[in-house]
Chains A and B, each alone.
Chain A
Amino acid sequence: MAARSRVSSLLSRSFSASSPFLSRSQGKNLNNGSRIVRRFGTSSAAEEVISPSVQVSYTKLLIDGNFVDAASGKTFPTLDPRTGEVIAHVAEGDAEDINRAVKAARKAFDEGPWPKMTAYERSRVMLRLADLVEKHSEELAALESWDNGKTYEQALTAEIPMVARLFRYYAGWADKIHGLTVPADGNYHVQTLHEPIGVAGQIIPWNFPLLMFAWKVGPALACGNTIVLKTAEQTPLTAFYVGKLFLEAGLPPGVLNIVSGFGATAGASLASHMDVDKLAFTGSTDTGKVILGLAANSNLKPVTLELGGKSPFIVFEDADIDKAVELAHFALFFNQGQCCCAGSRTYVHEKVYDEFVEKAKARALKRVVGDPFKKGIEQGPQIDSKQFEKVMKYIRSGVESNATLECGGGQVGDRGYFIQPTVFSNVKDDMLIAQDEIFGPVQSILKFSDVDEVIKRANDTRYGLAAGVFTKSLDTANRVSRALKAGTVWVNCFDVFDAAIPFGGYKMSGNGREKGIYSLNNYLQVKAVVTPLNNPAWI
Chain B
Amino acid sequence: MASRRVSSLLSRSLFSSSSLFSLRGKDPLMSRGARRYSNLASASLEDTITPPVKVEHTQLLINGKFVDSASGKTFPTLDPRTGEVIAQVAEGDVEDVNRAVVAARKAFDQGPWPRMTAYERSKILFRFADLIEKHNDEIAALETWDNGKPYEQSANIEVPMLARVFRYYAGWADKIHGMTVPGDGSHHVQTLHEPIGVAGQIIPWNFPLLMLSWKLGPALACGNTVVLKTAEQTPLSALLVGRLLHEAGLPEGVVNIVSGFGPTAGAAIASHMDIDKVAFTGSTDVGKIILELASKSNLKAVTLELGGKSPFIVCEDADVDQAVEMAHFALFFNQGQCCCAGSRTFVHERVYDEFVEKAKARAINRAVGDPFKSGIEQGPQVDSEQFEKILKYIRHGVDSGATLQAGGDRHGSKGYYIQPTVFSDVKDDMLIAKDEIFGPVQTILKFKNLDEVIARANNSRYGLAAGVFTQNLDTANRLMRALRVGSVWINCFDVFDATIPFGGYKMSGIGREKGIYSLNNYLQVKAVVTSIKNPAWL
Contact = CB atoms under 8 A, between A and B. Distances in A.
Interface of A: 14, 16-19, 165, 180, 182-188, 190, 192-193, 195, 277, 285, 288-290, 292-293, 295-297, 299-300, 302, 305, 307, 462, 477, 481-482, 486-493, 496, 498-504, 506-508, 510-511, 513, 516-518, 521, 525-532
Contacts of B304: 300
Contact of B17 (A184, A195, A288, A507): A184
Contact of B491 (A307, A488, A531): A531
29 contacts: A14-B185, A18-B186, A165-B184, A182-B497, A193-B480, A195-B481, A288-B299, A300-B291, A482-B192, A486-B526, A488-B527, A491-B529, A491-B531, A493-B529, A498-B182, A498-B183, A498-B187, A500-B181, A500-B189, A501-B527, A502-B527, A507-B276, A511-B301, A516-B191, A526-B512, A527-B480, A528-B487, A529-B488, A529-B490
B298 A492 contact: no
Nearest to B298: A508
B105 interface: no
Nearest to A169: B184
A61 B443 CA distance: 46
Contacts of A289: 295-296, 299
B398 interface: no
Contacts of B194: 482
A510 B501 contact: no
B284 interface: yes
B13 A19 contact: no
Contacts of B506: 277, 299-300
B128 interface: no
Interface in B441-478: 461, 476
B497 A525 contact: no
Contacts of A482: 192, 194
Given A500-B189, A526-B503, A299 B461 contact: yes
A7 to B, nearest CB: 13
Contact of A532 (B294, B492, B500, B507): B492
B160 to A, nearest CB: 11
Contacts of A182: 497, 499-500, 515
Interface string B482-517: 000111111110010111111101110111100111
A276 to B, nearest CB: 11
Interface in B1-50: 13, 15-19
A192 B492 contact: no
B22 to A, nearest CB: 11
Given A17-B184, A510-B299, A185 B164 contact: yes
Interface of B: 13, 15-19, 164, 179, 181-187, 189, 191-192, 194, 276, 284, 287-289, 291-292, 294-296, 298-299, 301, 304, 306, 461, 476, 480-481, 485-492, 495, 497-503, 505-507, 509-512, 515-517, 520, 524-531
Given A184-B500, A185-B13, A527 B525 contact: no
Nearest to B13: A186
A532 B491 contact: yes
Contact of A525 (B16, B476, B486): B486
The majority secondary structure among interface residues of chain A is mixed
B298 A507 contact: yes
A190 B291 contact: no
Nearest to A501: B527
A358 B16 CA distance: 69
A192 B485 CA distance: 12
Given A498-B181, A517-B179, 11 more contacts: A184-B495, A185-B13, A277-B506, A285-B299, A292-B299, A487-B524, A493-B529, A502-B191, A526-B517, A528-B502, A531-B491
Contacts of A285: 299
Q: Which of B184, B501, B506, B515 has the most CB of A within 10 A?
A: B184
B498 A489 contact: no
B488 A530 contact: yes
Contacts of B187: 18-19, 493, 496, 498
A151 B456 CA distance: 54
B507 A300 contact: yes
